[in-house]
């Protein structure tokens, strides 16, 4: 059985260079959380028949099952095995709501499936493998802060595939960050991140400029993490996320994940800053807002956003651990 936690990008992954290999256009950087774990058990069946996937106690079918089967085919191909798998997975995060359920899901599946099929992969290779399930999953292999290399600049897709993995990045001990998650709407999104990325890259005139500015954001972010400069980390993360959403709003037709409630939370974050609290927002492929702040300020931030979305819809997260096999290994 494997355990993995979601991660939230402070420098976003948005847009693929290659869909099949899940190669991103830009590098991204995230914080793995200590909330919403996913546990996944993979057992091998007798013959080669269809895989079986049980998701929170319910048998999966359709697109969810197809995505996992395609991923398991990759693992089988690498392992030179053909047996079908029975996958049991438990996810505590609302699925498909832009709360990184696919990140923890495919990170846990990569670790559990590699073990079940006898593949001995190090963390870097597991990260490359998880990437194929969902790009952001490559980063959940690691705890704390992780940088996913795009592999851009390589001459061929094969070369990019080889070097597109995540690895931990340094941050000052004194940073002590928290991410306050404000769940505006826990329902599944209407447009998948895959489809939205495709549309943005293909049609948004703002995509190229954002991708270029994201490289500069990343360099500044790394320096800010090493300095332990939470204000700078937050400012860079917020502008990078708002820029990503701007690329989507400029797509044709527009992709809009942000709802009126999202904007109300963003207002609350601005109010917190006016009151002297270092609080910065980031949003993914959904209306929910994650607010970066110092751990010492997390209760105050949680109160402020709770006043908008309801206290029961707020979860305070800190930096969490990387994906790992739990005892027994099955």
As measured in angstroms, the least distance from the Cβ of 118 to ligand PMV is: 27
Residue 286 CB, nearest distance to ligand PMV (Å)? Answer: 8
Nearer to ligand PMV, 12 or 76 (CB): 12
> How far apart are CB 135 and ligand PMV at their closest, in Å?
4
Distance from CA of residue 193 to its chain's centroid? 11
Kindly calculate the radius of gyration of the chain based on its CA atoms and give it in whole angstroms: 19
Widest Cα–Cα separation across the chain = 63
Nearer to ligand PMV, 14 or 142 (CB): 14
Residue whose CB is less far from ligand PMV, 8 or 115: 8
Min separation Cβ 283 and ligand PMV, Å: 8
- In angstroms, what is the minimal distance from the CB of 330 to ligand PMV? 27
Cα-based distances in Å from 237 to 119, 222, 244: 36, 11, 11
| Residue 21 and residue 154 in contact, taking contact as beta carbons nearer than 8 Å | no
In sequence order, the β-bridge partners of residue 181 are: 290, 315
Residue with smaller CB distance to ligand PMV, 69 or 288: 288
- 41 or 67, CB closer to ligand PMV? 67
- In sequence order, what are the residues at sequence separation of 6 or more whose Cβ sits closer than 8 angstroms to the Cβ of residue 82? 48, 76
Binding site for ligand PMV (CB under 6 A): 9, 12-14, 28, 102-103, 134-136, 193-194, 284-285
* C-alpha to C-alpha distance for 194 and 285, rounded to whole angstroms: 10
Q: Looking at beta carbons only, is 75 or 241 nearer to ligand PMV? A: 241
Q: How far apart (Å, rounded) are the C-alpha atoms in residues 125 and 120?
A: 9
Choice between 4 and 272, CB closer to ligand PMV:
4
Helix (H, G, I), strand (E, B) or coil at 296: helix
Strands (E), 215-320: 279-283, 289-294, 314-317
Q: How far is the CB of 26 from ligand PMV (least distance, A)?
A: 9
Shorter beta-carbon distance to ligand PMV: residue 237 or 298: 237
How many other C-beta atoms can be found within 10 angstroms of the C-beta atom of residue 270?
11
Nearest distance from C-beta of residue 314 to ligand PMV, angstroms: 20
Q: Determine the Cα–Cα distance for residues 301 and 322; give it in Å rounded to an integer.
A: 26
In the complex, least distance from residue 320 CB atom to ligand PMV, rounded to whole angstroms: 15
- Grouping H, G, I as helix, E, B as strand and the rest as coil, residue 159 is helix
Phi and psi at residue 145, to the nearest 5°: -100, 135
212 — phi, psi (to 5°)? -65, -45
Q: What is the nearest approach in angstroms of ligand PMV to the Cβ of residue 16? A: 9
The answer to whether 100 touches 57, Cβ cutoff 8 Å, is no
> What DSSP state is assigned to residue 138?
G
Compare residues 134 and 150 and give the one whose CB is closer to ligand PMV: 134
- Helix axis angle, 62-79 to 101-116, nearest 10°: 40
């Amino acid at each position: 059985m494997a355990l993995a936690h979601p991660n939230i990008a402070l420098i976003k992954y948005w847009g693929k260079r290659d869909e099949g290999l899940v190669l991103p256009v830009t590098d991204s950087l995230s914080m793995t959380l200590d909330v919403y774990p996913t546990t996944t058990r993979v057992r091998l069946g007798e013959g080669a028949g269809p895989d079986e996937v049980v998701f929170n106690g319910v048998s999966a079918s359709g697109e969810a099952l197809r995505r996992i089967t395609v991923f398991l085919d990759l693992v089988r191909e690498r392992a030179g095995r053909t047996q079908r798998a029975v996958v049991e997975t438990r996810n505590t995060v609302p699925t498909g709501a832009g709360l990184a359920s696919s990140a923890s899901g495919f990170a846990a599946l990569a670790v559990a499936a590699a073990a079940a099929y006898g593949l001995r992969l190090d963390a870097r290779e597991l990260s490359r493998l998880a990437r194929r399930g969902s790009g952001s999953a490559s980063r959940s292999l690691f705890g704390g802060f992780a940088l996913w290399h795009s592999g851009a600049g390589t001459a061929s897709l094969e070369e990019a595939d080889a070097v597109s993995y995540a690895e931990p990045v340094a941050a000052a001990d004194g940073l002590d960050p928290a991410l306050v998650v404000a769940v505006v709407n826990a329902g599944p999104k209407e447009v998948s991140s895959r489809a939205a990325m495709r549309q943005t890259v293909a049609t948004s005139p703002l995509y190229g400029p954002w991708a270029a500015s994201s490289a500069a954001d990343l360099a500044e972010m790394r320096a800010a993490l090493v300095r332990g400069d939470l204000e700078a980390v937050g400012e860079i993360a917020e502008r990078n996320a708002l820029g990503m959403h701007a690329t989507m709003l400029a797509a044709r037709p527009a992709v809009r994940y942000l709802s009126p409630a999202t904007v109300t939370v963003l207002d609350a974050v601005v109010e917190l800053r006016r009151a002297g609290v270092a609080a910065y927002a980031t949003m993914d492929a959904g209306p929910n807002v994650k607010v970066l702040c110092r751990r010492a300020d997390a209760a105050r931030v949680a109160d402020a956003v709770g006043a908008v979305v309801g206290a029961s819809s707020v979860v305070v997260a800190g930096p969490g651990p990387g994906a790992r096999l739990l005892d027994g290994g099955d």
